[in-house]
Amino acid sequence: MKDQQQYWVEREKPYRFVTPKEFAEVFESFHVGRSLGNELITQFDKSKSHPAALTTNKYGVGKRELFKACLSRELLLMKRNSTLYKFKLSQVGFNNLNIIVSQFMYKLCTCYSITNAFLLL
């Protein structure tokens, strides 16, 4: 909206802001807008077009091809950020190891009725 003034053609007339609604009304009253409106009013006859011109399903490709494309894209992104994935994987691994060790120590302590687990170390 701010840059509309730079496209003002009539330099001798003062600039006036044109709202989108106003612009649409003037376009619809113009001969190009009227012919476009008349063309859009008539429904498209699918029987007159070539069968391959219009898609008959939701996507242009099958689910398998779509899955392959998405998978290859994700693999490419994972290769680009491999250091981040390695760091996050090691972080998750250390957290899992910590949980396993703490559960083992808890079972060991409850089994032998040891109140302080650090006495074993």
pLDDT means over runs of 10, the chain (121 residues): 76 86 92 90 81 71 89 92 90 92 81 57 51
How far apart are alpha carbons 71 and 80 in whole angstroms? 14
Spacing of C-alpha 25 from chain mean position: 35
pLDDT at 42: 85
3-state helix, strand, coil in the chain (%, to 5): 70, 0, 30
33 touches 27 (CB < 8 A): yes
What residue segments make up the domains of the chain, in order of their start?
2-42, 63-119
pLDDT at 112: 64
Report pTM: 0.35
pLDDT at 102: 87
pLDDT at 115: 56
